[in-house]
Amino acid sequence: MKKLIGIMAFLVMMLVTVASAATLNTPAASGTISGSAYVLNATTTLVNARNCTFTALSASTANSSAVTLGTYTNTSAGQLTNYTIVFDSTTFEDAATYQFTATCYNSSGDSETVTNTGVVIDNTVPTSVSSSPADEAEIGGTSTFTGTIIDANTTGTVYLYIGNNIYPMTCTGASCTYTTTETDPSAGNYDWYIYSSDGTNTSSSTSREVWIDTSSGNNQALAAAVVEQTQQEQEQAEQVTTTRNLIIFALIGFGVWYFGFRKKK
């Protein structure tokens, strides 16, 4: 009996030794994939492994049930631990809720399954549209550039290019803005466009031309100074007029008194 127990223990140890563990290397959990030739890869330690089948699904898309992407079969007589297929991700909807699964089998029918979740499929190129200023516009130093970025997976990486100057834009929904200053960029004629990226794909809007006149702020200050000076001059003129009128009235009063006094004598 003891001998039988020993044999059973030995067999259990052997089973533990050959226990398999599959790993889905690509795509990684919460990873992002795109393109028509994405490589799916899994490894397994199954003894006499024969094949691995890859599937994908996303509850938020039309592929809410598992779709078989392909199976790689070991046609050699030896042990194979690395299984790879090429997957066309452009045939699937963009979403951030995919789960990819690899199920591997050996010649005895044993299997090992591994699943990675939160995988993003993103094949949509963001659309960048320049809104204002208009092409060939002349603007002051402090002016707002606006644009529209269309892409459900845009991460907010949107930049305004004015010549060789690069500025991060602030986006609310699909609308993005950036306001220049009187000193940055400097006055001049520029080509400008908007660049956007969703972390996988990028795009740029059509280039426009703009003339930036940074003297507008100085002109405003000068105009304000002229107005202030004019007001001061008007106040001074009014004071002079008031003083002159007082002197005239005083002279008239004195003349009336003087000649009236002499007449009485």
Whether 54 and 101 map to the same domain: the answer is yes
Whether 26 and 104 map to the same domain: the answer is yes
**Is 165 within a domain?**
yes
Domain boundary among 103, 121, 139: 121
Domain boundary among 67, 94, 121: 121
The predicted structure's pLDDT at residue 153: 61
What is the per-residue pLDDT across 152-176, written as a single tens digit (0 to 9) for each? 565 558 999 999 999 999 988 889 9
Q: Is the pLDDT of residue 109 over 70?
A: yes
**Is 68 within a domain?**
yes
**Is 163 within a domain?**
yes
Phi, psi values for residue 199, rounded to 5°: 90, -20
Q: Is the pLDDT of residue 265 over 70?
A: no
**Is 187 within a domain?**
yes
Q: Is the pLDDT of residue 180 over 70?
A: yes
Whether 102 and 139 map to the same domain: the answer is no
Whether 93 and 30 map to the same domain: the answer is yes
Whether 115 and 55 map to the same domain: the answer is yes
Q: Is the pLDDT of residue 75 over 90?
A: no
**Is 243 within a domain?**
no
Q: Is the pLDDT of residue 15 over 50?
A: no
The predicted structure's pLDDT at residue 230: 60
Mean pLDDT, residues 66-87: 90
Q: Please choose, from the candidates 84, 115, 116, 106, the residue with its C-alpha nearest in 3D space to the C-alpha of residue 19.
A: 106
> Residue 98 is part of which domain span?
19-121
Whether 70 and 158 map to the same domain: the answer is no
Confidence of residue 16 (pLDDT cuts 50, 70, 90): very low
Mean pLDDT, residues 108-114: 94
Distance CA 107, CA 74 (A): 10
Whether 98 and 134 map to the same domain: the answer is no
Burial class for 126, CB neighbours closer than 10 Å (0-12, 13-18, 19+): buried
What global pTM score does this model have? 0.60
Contact between 98 and 121 under an 8 Å Cβ cutoff? The reply is yes
What is the per-residue pLDDT across 78-93, written as a single tens digit (0 to 9) for each? 778 999 999 999 999 9
Whether 91 and 139 map to the same domain: the answer is no
Q: What is the CATH number of the domain that holds 75?
A: 2.60.40.10
**Is 58 within a domain?**
yes
Terminal alpha carbon distance of the chain: 165
Domain boundary among 66, 94, 121: 121
Distance CA 260, CA 252 (A): 12
**Is 224 within a domain?**
no
The predicted structure's pLDDT at residue 150: 84
**Is 106 within a domain?**
yes
Mean pLDDT, residues 249-254: 74
Pairing of strands 157-162, 188-197: antiparallel
Whether 107 and 54 map to the same domain: the answer is yes
Whether 56 and 117 map to the same domain: the answer is yes
Contacts of 141 (CB under 8 A, 6+ apart): 180, 181, 182, 183, 187, 212, 213, 214, 215, 216, 217
Question: How many percent of the chain have pLDDT more than 90?
Answer: 53
Whether 62 and 98 map to the same domain: the answer is yes
The predicted structure's pLDDT at residue 46: 92
Total number of domains constituting the chain: 2
Whether 105 and 170 map to the same domain: the answer is no
Question: How many percent of the chain have pLDDT more than 70?
Answer: 78
Q: Please choose, from the candidates 101, 97, 92, the residue with its C-alpha nearest in 3D space to the C-alpha of residue 124.
A: 92
Q: What is the mean pLDDT of the chain?
A: 83
